[in-house]
Amino acid sequence: MKEFLTNNSQQTQELAQKVAQLVRRGMVLTLNGDLGAGKTTFTQGFARALGVTGRVKSPTFNIMNTYMAGETPIYHFDAYTLETMGAENQGFEDFIGTDGITLIEWPQYMVDILPNDRIDFNFQRTNEDDQRQITIHGIGQLANFEDAL
Ligand code: ADP
Ligand code: MG
């Protein structure tokens, strides 16, 4: 597990850029944290670092957005609205961990279909307004992913 402190959105996006450089097709990143913690901000920096030019926003109502990073799809989930519906049998498994790179906001609402090999992120506000604590922890085959950061 590795811990970072960022003091504004840009620093969070710079961290996302570093992570993006280490991520390969098929990897799954879970983005944990409360509303406003910085999960989407991170995803924006991540996607931009991989060459996505269009707008990146939380797919709150459609649950999944796809962006193309060259030939590589980025699957961006926001599972918040699955809290009451459940994630099984909706076909999300066909995307997660397959040909693209997957980022999942509110992964606690899709636990049944999360892969065992993944990188868990935790975003937390601190006592300072624009500061966030971000912890990164690879598990399964991706254990120690964060050591390269
Ligand atoms: P989430 O997707 O976790 O709900 P967002 O990324 O949509 O959160 O929103 C985070 C908000 O906090 C944005 O308005 C962003 O500008 C602001 N912010 C302030 N400081 C930071 C920081 N250090 N990292 C990320 N976002 C920050
Ligand atoms: Mg969000």
Ligand nearest to the CA of 80: 2
Nearest ligand to the CA atom of 65:
2
ipTM value greater than 0.95: yes
Tokens encoding 9: 């959105």
Positions of the chain with pLDDT under 70: 85, 89
Domain with residues 2-142, CATH architecture? 3-Layer(aba) Sandwich (3.40)
Burial label, 113 (beta-carbon count in 10 A; 0-12, 13-18, 19+): middle
Residue whose token pair is 């944290």: 33
Instruction: Return the pLDDT at 12.
Output: 98
- The per-residue pLDDT for 2 is 98
Tokens representing residue 48 in the block: 């931009």
Q: Tell me, what's the pLDDT at 144?
A: 94
Distance in Å, CA 89 to ligand 1 centroid: 31
Tell me the longest C-alpha to C-alpha distance in the chain: 41
Whole-number Å distance, alpha carbon 140 to ligand 2 midpoint, is 26
Testing ligand 1's pocket by substitution, the residue of 30, 34, 41, 125 carrying the most ligand atoms inside 8 A of its CB is 41
Considering Cα of 20, then 40, then 91, then 121, what sign does the dihedral take? positive
pLDDT on residue 71: 94
Residues with C-beta less than 6 Å from any ligand 1 atom:
6-9, 11-12, 33, 35-41, 58, 105, 123, 130-132
